[in-house]
Amino acid sequence: MPATPTAPSAAPAGKKKKRGRARLLLIVLVLAIVAGVGYGTYWSVSTVRASFPQASGELTLDGLTQPVDVKRDANGIPQIYASTDADLFRAQGYVQAQDRFWEMDVRRHMTSGRLAEMFGSGQVETDAFLRTLGWRQVAQKEYDEKLSPETKKYLQAYAAGVNEYLKGRSSKDVSVEYAALGFTTDYTIEEWTPVDSVAWLKAMAWDLRGNMQDEIDRSLMTSRMDKKQIDELYPKYPFDRHKPIVEENLAKGGSSGSSGNGFGTDARGASGTGTSTGGTGTGTSTGGTGTSTGGSAGRNAGTGGTGTGTGTGTGTSTGASSNTGVGSTQGLQTQLSRISANLDKIPALLGPNGNGIGSNSWVVAGSKTTTGKPLLANDPHLAPQMPSLWYQMGLHCREISSQCQYDTAGYTFSGMPGVVIGHNQDIAWGMTNLGADVSDLYLEKVGPNNTYLYDNKEKPFTTRVETIKVAGGGSKKITVRSTENGPLISDRNTEMESVGQKAPVTNSAPDRGNGYAVALKWTALQPGKSMDAVFEMNRAKNFKEFQGAAGHFEVPSQNLIYADTAGNIGYQAPGTIPIRSSGHDGRMPVAGWDSKNNWKGYIAQSRMPYEYNPKRGYIVTANQAVVDSRKYPDLKLTEDWGYGARSQRINDLIESKTKDGGKISTDDMRTMQMDNSSEIAKLLTPYLLKIDINDEQIREAQKLLEGWDYTQESDSAAAAYFNGVWRNILKLAFGNKMPKELRVTGQCLYVRSADGPVDDLAKPTRECGERDADSAQPDGGDRWFEVVRNLVKDEKSDWWSSPASRTDKATTTRDELFARAMEDARWELTAKLGKNIKTWNWGRLHQLTLKNQTLGTEGPGFIQHLLNRGPWNLGGGEAAVNATGWNAAGGYEVVWVPSMRMVVNLSDLDKSRWINLTGSSGHAYHSNYSDQTEKWAKGELLDWSFTKAAVDKSTTETLVLKPGPPG
C-alpha cells in the first residue's frame, strides 16, 4: 500500500504512531537488516534461493494413503490429483506452504493477536485490540461446536500437510523473510493447526464488515455538521437510475411490503466478547463554522468552530501498568476518533474498509452469449500486496466417489483448504461484498465496581485476562471486558480521555457520570459454519445445492453469483443479517443500557433475496443495493450500499452489446472488465467547460477536456487533469469542512477551535488531520458522485462556499469553486507532472506499487528492493468497472485493485480465462513471484486448463508425493 504522508514537525505529539495499518517492521529490525548486509552476496542470493520449493521429482509425505500428483504450468499454478479427500487436502496444505508459508504465518499471528511475538513491542496495541475482538476464541468455538465432522477432517488433513512441509526445515529455508527476522529475534515457527485456517475467515469478515466506519464517521461529523448536512453527505440510494441486483425473484416464500410479509426470523442468539479498561470522562461543547487558511501549497481553505465545555473523569487500564485518565470536552468524538485510529492499525489484508472495498461479478445466460452457455465474470477489488491475496489452484479427484468428492479449480486463500471462488465440473460461482450492516456500536453506561447499566440494573462485566508475549522478552497482560452487546473496544486505548459529549441519546439517557464506553456488536463474534459452506460450494452440482451451501456462508455476507453447465444462472444473498428494533437503523451508535435496542434475531436464510434464470438473461452484482427498499421496506439489509456507479455501467454495457440480438463472447467479458469510463466525469465536464477562464495556463488545461470521451486510459492527459479537478472540488467543498479525525494525517488547516481556552476562541489554531490516507474523507467514491449530483444544479449551495486563501478569493457559488479547483489542479499537476501539459498522463499520477505487507512496507531500500515490485502506471479509477481505486483525500496512488480477474466459460471449461495480480510464489526472485502482473496491468488473461487432458498439455513440472512408511 502507498506510504502514509509524514506529519509535519508541528503536528500534535502522539499522532505519528497512527501512520499505517500494517506497519509491522520495527526500527530495530531495520537497523539489524542494514547491519546484515555485511553478510554480502551470500545472504542476498543464497538465502533467497534456499526457500524455493521443489516442483518436480518425488517426495515422501507421511500420512498419505496413495500417491498424489502436483502438476504445475509455466506460471507455477498447481493442479493436484489425489484418490481420497484427505490426501487431496493434505497435499494442498503441503503445496501452499511450499509457496506461501510466510504469508500464512503472519496471517495466523494477526488473527490470534500475536503479532508482537514476531515483530516486537510496536505491535502490542494492535494485538490488544485483536485480543479484545477475540477472533481466535470464536474460531476455536466454531471448530469445537459448529463445524461438521467432515469439515474437521479436511482441516486436520490440510494442517498435517503444512506441518509435513515444515518438518526438519529451519526457518530460513522456509522463506527469506525469516532470515531477516532472525537478525533480531529467535522466533521459532510453530506447527499449523486447523483453527489457524478457520480464524482467517474472521479477518476476511473484518475487512468486509459493512458500515462500521460510516457509523463512526457520521458520529465524528456531528462536531462540525448538523443532521441535514450529514444526511446530504450520505444520500439515499438512486433506485431510479441504478438498478438493484434482484429485480424479478425475491425470496422463497413471499414478497415484502408490510409487516408479516413472509420474511422469517432466525432465533440464533447474539453473543459478544470483551475488552480491557480505559479512560472515561464527561463534557459538553457547542461549535460552529469559521474560516481558515493554510494547507498544501498554501491553497487549502478550512473551517473552524467555536465552543465551550468542561469535563472530568477517571479511568484505569488493567495490565502491566495502570493510568488515570482525565476527561476532556471532546466526548464521543474523541472516543470514536481513538477507536477509528485503532481500526486503522489493524492490518487490513483485503483493503481499506469502506466505499472502496468492492468487487464486480456478472453472469450472462447462454441465450445472449456466442457459446450458447453462460459466461461468468468476477474481479474482487481488494488491497494490492505482494504476494497477491489469492492463490490459484486446482483440486482434482482422479475419480469422483464417496471417498473423493472434489473436482474444482479457482482462487484459494493460502492457509485455508478448498477453493473460495472458481468452478467445479458442474457449476461456477463468484463473489462480491454484499455490504450488509452486520455490526453496531453501543454506548454503555459504566458504573461502580466494574459494572455497567442494563435495564436499570448494574451488571458485572464478563472479563478475561490475556497475556501478550513480546519478541525480545517480556509480556503484557490486559483485561478484556464485555457486555451484553459485545466487547468494550473503547477500553483498548489508554489515551482516550472522555466519552459521551454528543452521544446520540435521548433526554431519558442515564447521567453520563464517568462517561459512556463503546461496545461492538458484530455477527462474526459468534460461531458459525462458513467453513462448512466452502466445501459444500466446492462440490455443489446444481442451484439447489448451491443455495444450501450459501445458507451456511454466514460471515462475511457476500453476493453469490452462479452459473452451471446445464445453462442456468442465478444469484443468492447469504449471511447472518440482524433484525433491529424499530427506531434503530444502524447508522449511529445506540444506547446499550436499554434492551429494547437489542437485535431481535436474524433474517432467515430461506427469506434472503435470490434470482434464478431471470427473463432479462443476466445478473450483475457490484456492491449496489440488493433489492429496491421502496418496494421491500421490511427487508433491512443495510442503508449504506455502494451507490451503483459500476453496476449500472455493467448493466448498460450488457444491454448495449445484446440489443438487436447481439451476443457476448469471452473476450467481450474481458473487455468489460477493463472499462475505464468515469460517471462523475460525464456529469461534471460540461459544467467545467462552460466556465470562463482568463488565465492562459489554466485555459490550456481546460482545453484537455474538450472532446474527451471520459475514459481513463493510462496515457490520457484529460483523465489526469479531470481527476485533479475532482480531487480539488472535493477538498474545497467538503474536505476542508471535515473534522480533523477524518482528514489525512499531516494535512493541516487553521481553524477556530473549541479545544482552546474560552477567552481565546477568536484566535485560529493549526489543526492537523489524523486519519490514514487510505481511509480519509472525502475519498471520492461513488457516494461522493451522488453527493455532488444532488448539489450540482444548486449554484448557491452552502457547500460551494470556501474561505479565501493567501492566493485566492473566497468562493460562494458552484462555478467560483469549480474555477478555483481547476486552478488548483493545474498547479498541483504542474508540480507533479511538469509545466508542459503535453507530457501529462493519468498513469504517471495513478501508480501501483506492490509491497510485501510486512518487511516491504518500511525500511532501507535494500530490503524493499528485494521484496517489492513496481511501480506500474495504470488506467482505470475510482468507481470505474476497472476499479483501480484511489482515495481523493490522500492522493492519486492506487490503494485497491481488481485483485484477480476471471471469466468462466460454461460451454467449455478449458476455454475459461484467469489472471492473478502477482504470481503463485511468495518467494522473492522466484520466476513466478510477479510473472502475471504485467499481463494483469494490460488487461490480459491466461488460459485456464481444467480437464485432465488440458492440464497435462499445459504441465511443465510434475511433483509426485508418495506415502511415507506405515505407522
Mean pLDDT by 10 residues, the chain (967 residues): 32 35 36 41 58 94 97 98 98 98 94 90 88 95 97 98 96 87 82 96 77 82 90 96 90 37 40 35 33 32 33 32 30 48 51 63 98 98 91 98 98 97 98 92 88 95 96 90 93 44 53 74 93 98 97 93 98 95 82 93 92 97 95 89 96 97 98 98 98 97 98 98 98 95 89 50 78 90 97 97 89 98 98 96 97 70 83 96 96 95 98 98 95 98 98 98 81
375-382 and 358-364 strand pairing: antiparallel
Q: What Cα–Cα distance (Å) separates residue 527 from each residue in 46, 139, 484, 578?
A: 45, 7, 16, 15
Round to whole Å and give the CA distance between 596 and 583.
10
- Could you tell me which residues come within 8 angstroms of residue 431 by beta carbon, excluding any fewer than 6 positions away? 359, 361, 378, 380, 420, 421, 558, 559, 560, 561
All three cell numbers of 223: 462536531
Residue whose C-alpha cell is 432479462: 616
Quick one: how far is CA 892 from the chain centroid?
A: 18
Burial of 269-295, coded b for 16+ CB within 10 Å and e otherwise, reads ebebbbbbbbbbbbbebebebbbbbbb
pLDDT at 119: 84
Element (H, E) at 269: none
Q: What Cα–Cα distance (Å) separates residue 704 from each residue in 205, 720, 817?
A: 43, 10, 19
Rg (CA), the chain: 27
User: Which one-letter amino acid corresponds to residue 967?
Assistant: G
- Could you tell me which residues come within 8 angstroms of residue 496 by beta carbon, excluding any fewer than 6 positions away? 278, 279, 280, 315, 325, 334, 335, 338, 490
Other Cβ atoms closer than 10 A to 831:
11
All three cell numbers of 432: 462480491
pLDDT at 860: 53
Map residue 652 onto helix, strand or coil: helix
Round to whole Å and give the CA distance between 429 and 475.
45
Nearest to 812 by CA among 823, 794, 800, 824: 800
SS3 string of 425-483? CCEEEEEEECCCCCEEEEEEEEECCCEEEECCEEEECEEEEEEEECCCCCEEEEEEEEE
All three cell numbers of 855: 518487511
All three cell numbers of 519: 461496545
Give the side-chain half-sphere CA count within 13 A for 847: 14
Round to whole Å and give the CA distance between 553 and 564.
20
All three cell numbers of 128: 490488544
Round to whole Å and give the CA distance between 179 and 49.
12
pTM of the model: 0.86
Phi, psi of 800 (to 5 degrees): -80, 0
pLDDT at 46: 62
- Could you tell me which residues come within 8 angstroms of residue 584 by beta carbon, excluding any fewer than 6 positions away? 440, 590, 597
Quick one: how far is CA 920 from the chain centroid?
A: 22
DSSP output for 217-265: HHHHHTTT--HHHHHHHSPPP-TTTS--S-SS---TT---SSTTSS--E
57-61 and 957-963 strand pairing: parallel
Greatest extent of the chain over all pairs of C-alpha atoms, in Å: 86
Burial degree of 813 (CB within 10 A; 0-12, 13-18, 19+): middle
Round to whole Å and give the CA distance between 561 and 610.
10
β-sheet bridge partners, residue 866:
none
pLDDT at 48: 65
Round to whole Å and give the CA distance between 817 and 824.
10
pLDDT at 163: 98
